[in-house]
């Protein structure tokens, strides 16, 4: 997905937050932010992808401050809070596929920076999908169980979501071999292999792989050879979060792609045709693949 005019302010805020977390010294923070904002001014265009700009802004700040993971402490706090709420609102034993997809989607709506009372209210609210292909997903999985030998690649999103993803991953494992893909190295608050290892539940994911990248969404050009090979072998791609909504349509992948995300900004609402703050769980249609 390419930038829209509203994306500039969002990217600027991302740079400011990243710089503020990357260095304790005010002078170094300011210098890192100035470099990032200069890059943004010089490269922002409605012809370029938002994800590419977001990745580069953060790379500039990490290099300038010599801080490889500015969001490290934020992620620790986020994961602790997410674990608490995931346990509090966990689906019942024997939950349906729909309930597990709803739970995974609820995790994508988890906003660590939201005031706690408002966050809990949001987590208690019913998850209703503005676009819903869960019945079709269930039918596909039923076929996988009968045939055997299938592979599902599950693309993770934010760090705290692993607690909300696990029940769905376990259900998917009843139909296919599931590979849970996380980032190789840090970018904003995306889940990395190191984060998952410290989560306390990492060993419950049977197959954990990394993309080989440090970019939001999926930057296939920068992905590792091993990940690209796995991507080719996968029978189904299941992807969490707006970053994957923004990047996967442009990759023209041959296998079915199932997206689960909350619409968190106006440009994505306009692009998807879905209301802002609504949830979506659907197969990417052929006409949507650029």
Using one digit for the tens of pLDDT, what is the confidence trace for 142-160?
999 999 999 999 999 999 9
* Position 112 pLDDT exceeds 80: no
Which of 41, 65, 89 represents a domain boundary (last residue)?
Answer: 65
* Position 83 pLDDT exceeds 60: yes
pLDDT in tens, 242-262: 999 999 998 989 999 999 999
Q: What's residue 287's pLDDT?
A: 59
Q: What's residue 1's pLDDT?
A: 85
117 Cβ contact partners less than 8 Å away, ≥ 6 residues apart: none
Between strands 129-132 and 151-155, the pairing is: unpaired
Q: Considering the domain boundaries, does residue 1 fall inside one?
A: no
- 78 and 18 in one domain? no
- 254 and 141 in one domain? yes
* Position 209 pLDDT exceeds 80: yes
The stretches of 148-265 forming alpha helices (DSSP H) are 162-172, 193-197, 225-233, 242-247
Q: Considering the domain boundaries, does residue 2 fall inside one?
A: no
- 161 and 56 in one domain? no
The tally of domains found in the chain comes to 2
Q: Across the chain, what does the average pLDDT equal?
A: 94
The pTM is what?
A: 0.95
* Position 113 pLDDT exceeds 70: no
- 233 and 186 in one domain? yes
**Domain of residue 176, CATH code:** 3.40.50.10880
Q: Considering the domain boundaries, does residue 259 fall inside one?
A: yes
Q: Considering the domain boundaries, does residue 217 fall inside one?
A: yes
Q: Whole domain around residue 31: which residue ranges?
A: 7-65
- 95 and 61 in one domain? no
- 123 and 263 in one domain? yes
Q: What's residue 151's pLDDT?
A: 98
Q: What is the number of residues in the chain?
A: 290
Average pLDDT of the residues in 95-118: 87
């Amino acid at each position: 997905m390419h930038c829209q005019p509203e994306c500039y302010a969002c990217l600027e805020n991302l740079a400011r937050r990243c710089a503020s977390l990357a260095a304790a010294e005010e002078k170094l923070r300011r210098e890192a932010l100035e470099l990032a904002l200069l890059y943004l001014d010089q490269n922002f265009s409605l012809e370029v992808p938002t994800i590419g700009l977001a990745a580069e802004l953060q790379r500039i700040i990490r290099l300038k401050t010599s801080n490889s993971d500015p969001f490290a402490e934020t992620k620790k706090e986020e994961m602790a809070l997410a674990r608490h709420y995931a346990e509090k609102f966990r689906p019942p034993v024997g939950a349906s596929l729909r309930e597990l997809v709803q739970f995974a989607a609820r995790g994508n709506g988890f906003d660590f920076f939201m005031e706690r009372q408002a966050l809990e209210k949001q987590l208690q609210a019913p998850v209703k999908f503005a676009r819903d292909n869960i019945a079709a997903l269930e039918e596909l999985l039923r076929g996988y169980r009968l045939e055997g030998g299938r592979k599902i690649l599950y693309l993770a999103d934010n760090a705290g979501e692993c607690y909300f993803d696990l029940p769905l991953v376990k259900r998917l494992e009843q139909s296919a071999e599931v590979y849970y893909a996380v980032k190789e190295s840090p970018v904003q608050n995306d889940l990395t292999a190191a984060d998952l290892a410290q989560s306390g539940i990492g060993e419950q994911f049977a197959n954990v792989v990394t993309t080989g990248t440090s970019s939001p969404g999926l930057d296939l050009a920068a992905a590792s050879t091993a990940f690209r090979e796995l991507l080719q072998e996968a029978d189904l791609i299941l992807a969490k979060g707006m970053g994957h909504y923004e990047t996967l349509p442009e990759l023209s992948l041959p296998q079915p792609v199932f997206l689960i995300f909350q619409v968190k900004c106006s440009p994505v609402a306009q692009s998807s045709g879905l209301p802002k703050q609504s949830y979506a769980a659907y197969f990417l249609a052929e006409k949507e693949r650029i």
